[in-house]
Structure 1
Amino acid sequence: MTRTIFVNLPVADLKASMAFYAALGFTNNPRFTDDTAACMVWSETINVMLLTHDKWRTFTNRPIPPTSSSEVMLAISCGSRDEVDAMNRAASEHGGTADINPAQDLGFMYNRNLADPDGHVWEAMWMDMDAFPPSE
């Protein structure tokens, strides 16, 4: 079996979160979706499980952090700078927040950070490996 990651995120409004992630370019996998959870697919090996708060609480007793806090920043690669910019625009147009941190442009790498409606932080990034500085 191919190693796959399922990132599990608690969400306040499952339908709104599904629409948000669809606007960013994720697709829904109905096989793992019901009224309490939705599987949103980024690639063959990267999936995001959106879980209602009640469903989340069946996995852990730890508190759900407020939308103003950050526990992790999830970085996902995009095919171009334009795709990074489009993802950030889509975030702001669909209930999220664009540019929660300053954009970073190192020439060979470009990224912008966004937050989903529940405050989960994502880094949309593009990298040109051919332009990556050699190690010394």
Structure 2
Amino acid sequence: MNKQFIVNLPVRQLDKSKAFFSALGFSFKAEFTNENAAFMIVVEDCIYAMLTTEPFFQSLTGKPVARATEANEVVLCLSCESREEVDSLIAKAAAAGARIPHPAEDHGFMYDQGFEDIDGHLWNLVWTESQA
């Protein structure tokens, strides 16, 4: 079995978060999804996000849940296959209610832009030339 990366993210309203990420084209594994958490496929067989309700997330650590809308916790970076994919995902995120904190940055060999999801988590989408 290949190694997998799973990030756990606290969300305020699980159904709204699932709808938001579904609008971006992500899907969920039903067998690992319930009223407390949803297992989102970011990259099949490789990268996943477990969206968990804030009370359930807190029960995992015993620590208070950081408010991503008030302080940076992490920036999730996802590579894209093209500039067009970056733009497409940004457009879908904006249409689904994301905040777009800055315009796209084009460095020639690298193109990126980010969005803040409905719970305040920061996502950066980046394309780079294969030889860079």
Per the TM superposition, whether the score is higher than 0.5 is yes
Unaligned runs of 5+ in 2: none
Map of 1:85 onto structure 2? 87
Q: Which residue does 1:5 correspond to in 2?
A: 5
Partner-residue secondary structure (3-state), 1:88:
helix
Q: TM-score, length-normalised on structure 2?
A: 0.92
Structure 2 counterpart of 1:69, which letter? Answer: A
How much does 1:11 deviate? 0.2
**How do 1:1-136 and structure 2 match up within 5 A?**
1-43=1-43, 44-66=45-67, 67-98=69-100, 100-130=101-131, 132=132
Superimposed CA distance per residue, residues 19-61 of structure 1 (whole angstroms, 9 cap, x where no aligned partner): 1111222111112101110011011200010000111011112
**1:38 partner letter:** A
**Corresponding residue SS for 2:3:** coil
Letter in 2 for 1:46: I
Query: SS of the counterpart of 2:23?
Result: helix
Question: What amino acid is aligned across from residue 107 of structure 1 in structure 2?
Answer: G
RMSD: 1.2
Runs of 4+ in 1 over 4 A off after TM superposition: none
Identity, % of aligned pairs?
39
The alignment covers a number of residue pairs equal to: 130
CA shift, 1:102, in A, is: 4.3
Question: Post-superposition shift, 1:103?
Answer: 2.4
Q: So what's the TM-score if we normalise by structure 1?
A: 0.89
* Equivalent pair of 1:75/1:125 in contact (CA under 8 Å): yes
Cα displacement (A) at 1:129: 1.4
Q: Is the 8 A contact 1:74 1:122 kept in 2?
A: yes
